[in-house]
Amino acid sequence: MAGFIGRCRVLIETRELKLDIEVADTVSALLQLPANARACYVLAHGAGADMRHAFMEKVAVGLAERGIATLRFNFPYMEKKQGRPDRPAVAHAAVRAAVAEAGRLCPGLKLVAGGKSFGGRMTSQAQSKAPLPGVKGLAFLGFPLHADKKPSSERAEHLAGISVPMLFLQGTRDGLADLGYLKPVVEKLGPKATLHEVAGGDHSFAVLKKSGRTNEEALTEVLDTLAAWIDRLA
């Protein structure tokens, strides 16, 4: 199915897909491919909401307006409407299936992977165990460094085993990523890692009214930064 989206009237092809997960059942996926696409972002959802959540839709539409395709997908637990997230091995298999499908459906496009919170972390874990074929970089929309307001950096230990560039988009009010802990992690990773702080943003980049700007403006900053970073990837 094709149609126009967004303020820029971008022509986009939308495909409803099914992914076969090697160690689990089939899950739903959604490819949104703008006519002028130059890259594809495999966009995994967070722990508490599926691929069709409003945040995921806004990101996909915003990136399409910027010439970047997205492939969203459900993790098996979300497809079955179960509350508890999948075991890492199952989540990693889902990420690999989505990356493989994106590579098949978007030949010639620069391939990037990552996603929102839990989805981004599962993607990075999968990459650390064995490189995701064709992926040039990982982009995290709110990396969940630790449990809410329980600062720690243990969840970042696997990042040292990743060789591709990484982009951390983080709100300065993110309760799941104390910048006092995240900044040293990024610095230790060296030039392959980039941290972009969204002033006043929470874990989903929402800002307070007193900040003087809207949630839409904060998300625009996120998407502009992500698109520019993708363009700079080799």
Structure tokens at 91: 């989540």
Report how far residue 60's alpha carbon sits from residue 216's, in angstroms, rounded to the nearest whole number.
14
Asked whether 93 and 24 are in contact (CB, 8 A), the reply is yes
Give the global pTM. 0.94
Q: Which residue reads 């064709």 in tokens?
A: 134
Domain membership of residue 226 as a residue range: 2-232
* Average pLDDT estimate for 130-144: 98
Report how far residue 159's alpha carbon sits from residue 163's, in angstroms, rounded to the nearest whole number.
9
- State the alpha helices, DSSP H only, in the chain: 54-65, 76-79, 88-105, 118-129, 179-189, 215-232
The secondary structure of residue 150, as a DSSP letter, is -
Asked whether 129 and 160 are in contact (CB, 8 A), the reply is no
**Predicted confidence (pLDDT) per residue in 6-54, tens digit:** 445 678 999 999 999 988 889 999 999 999 999 999 999 999 999 999 9
Structural domains in the chain (count): 1
Percent of the chain at pLDDT > 90 equals 92
* Average pLDDT estimate for 198-206: 97
Report how far residue 192's alpha carbon sits from residue 173's, in angstroms, rounded to the nearest whole number.
24
Contacts of residue 212, Cβ cutoff 8 Å, sequence gap at least 6 = none
CATH of the domain at 94: 3.40.50.1820
Q: Would the pLDDT of 206 be above 70?
A: yes
Report how far residue 221's alpha carbon sits from residue 233's, in angstroms, rounded to the nearest whole number.
19
Structure tokens at 178: 């104390």
pLDDT band for 2, please (50, 70, 90 cuts). low
Asked whether 40 and 112 are in contact (CB, 8 A), the reply is yes
**Predicted confidence (pLDDT) per residue in 139-171, tens digit:** 999 999 999 989 999 999 999 999 999 999 999
Helices 118-129 and 88-105 pack at an angle, to 10 degrees, of: 80
Nearest-CA neighbor of 113 among 182, 164, 48, 54? 164
**Predicted confidence (pLDDT) per residue in 78-107, tens digit:** 999 998 999 999 999 999 999 999 999 999
If one compares 59 and 83, the residue with the highest pLDDT of the two is 59
Nearest-CA neighbor of 205 among 221, 196, 223, 218? 218
